């Protein structure tokens, strides 16, 4: 047996680790739970929601899974990416990266500030790039990896509102396509582009209103629509550079 194949044997015996950013609450939490159910050791990244992240880790561990909470501000993208991937490497072999964390803000052009631009571009675009860089640099030869970026269907058909948020997601869609080509054949890179799934706090009726008036299927989506799509992408080894839209037809 060569030294390299011995090394692969060791890595194959380590837990497969999934890193999910912004995993303490809402959609990220559901993604982390689904991946833990599927046997991944999960890094539950959080920004401010430390208690919710620890609660989720305890829930996964009580079900027999492996999980670790890691808190950091993704605005500091390069440093955070290193910290998150260090944690992932400490519990196994990072093989899946889900870039889910996001800042979703809206300001009319006249009120746009540098801080408004930088926070959304930093978390929604730059952090996924540096996390991908760290993920790739740690993935051993011969071990397949996957990156799934959570986008938004609006990126493909920008509305008048959420100018910077939408631009950040469009840029991340572009990075998804570029990295799919750059990182093949070892790593597949795909995107999931949801529409109305979980309404933001304070706008609880927004998605129901869209379902009533604008969404052709007349319903809003659920976190399960996202987790089932992630599972599909994980298992379908012939897909890379794809963005799957989950909008009930709202993007048409």
Active-site annotation, residues = 165
To ligand NAP, the closest distance from the beta carbon of 37 in angstroms equals 19
230 by Cβ neighbours in 10 Å (0-12 / 13-18 / 19+) ranks as buried
To ligand NAP, the closest distance from the beta carbon of 14 in angstroms equals 26
Describe the chain by its helix, strand, coil percentages, rounded to 5: 50, 15, 35
Q: How many residues bind ligand NAP (CB under 6 A)?
A: 25
- Could you say which of 33, 66, 81, 100 contacts ligand NAP (CB under 6 A)? 100
Question: 10 Å Cβ neighbour count for 1?
Answer: 7
To ligand NAP, the closest distance from the beta carbon of 193 in angstroms equals 7
Is 197 near ligand NAP (CB under 6 A)?
Answer: yes
- Could you say which of 18, 103, 125, 180 contacts ligand NAP (CB under 6 A)? 103
Is 70 near ligand NAP (CB under 6 A)?
Answer: no
Q: What is the largest CA-CA distance in the chain?
A: 66
To ligand NAP, the closest distance from the beta carbon of 29 in angstroms equals 8
Binding mask 140-159 for ligand NAP (x = CB under 6 A): ----------x-x-------
Is 104 near ligand NAP (CB under 6 A)?
Answer: yes
Is 69 near ligand NAP (CB under 6 A)?
Answer: no
81 touches 134 (CB < 8 A): yes
The sheet with strand 243-246 has its strands ordered as 67-71, 41-46, 16-20, 93-99, 145-150, 187-194, 243-246
94 vs 128, which CB is nearer to ligand NAP? 128
Binding mask 20-59 for ligand NAP (x = CB under 6 A): --x-xxxxx-----------------xxxx----------
76: phi then psi, degrees, rounded to nearest 5: -95, 75
Q: Which helix (H) or strand (E) holds 144?
A: none
Q: At what angle do helices 223-235 and 26-37 cross, to 10 degrees?
A: 40
> Which region holds residue 39: left if phi is over 0, alpha if psi is between -120 and 50, else beta?
left
Q: Which residues bind ligand NAP (CB under 6 A)?
A: 22, 24-28, 46-49, 73-75, 100-104, 123, 150, 152, 194, 196-198
């Amino acid at each position: 047996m060569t030294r390299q194949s011995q090394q692969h044997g060791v890595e194959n015996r380590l837990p497969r680790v999934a890193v999910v950013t912004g995993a303490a609450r809402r959609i990220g939490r559901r993604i982390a739970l689904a991946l833990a159910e599927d046997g991944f050791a999960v890094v539950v990244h959080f920004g401010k929601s430390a208690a919710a992240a620890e609660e989720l880790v305890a829930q996964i561990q009580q079900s027999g899974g492996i999980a670790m909470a890691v808190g950091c501000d993704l605005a500091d993208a390069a440093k955070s990416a290193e910290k998150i991937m260090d944690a992932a490497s400490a519990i196994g072999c990072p093989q899946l990266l889900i870039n889910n964390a996001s800042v979703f803000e809206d300001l009319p052009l006249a009120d746009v500030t540098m801080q408004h631009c930088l926070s959304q571009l930093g978390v929604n675009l730059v952090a996924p790039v540096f996390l991908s860089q760290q993920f790739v640099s740690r993935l051993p030869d011969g071990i397949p990896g996957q990156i799934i970026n959570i986008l938004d269907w609006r990126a493909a058909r920008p509305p008048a509102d959420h100018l910077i948020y939408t631009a950040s997601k469009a840029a991340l869609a572009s990075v998804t396509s570029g990295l799919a080509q750059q990182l093949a054949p070892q790593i597949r890179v795909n995107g999931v582009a949801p529409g109305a799934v979980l309404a933001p706090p304070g706008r609880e009726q927004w998605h129901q209103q869209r379902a009533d008036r604008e969404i052709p299927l007349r319903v809003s989506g659920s976190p399960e629509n996202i987790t089932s799509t992630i599972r599909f992408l994980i298992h379908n080894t012939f897909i890379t550079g794809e963005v799957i839209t989950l909008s009930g037809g709202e993007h048409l």
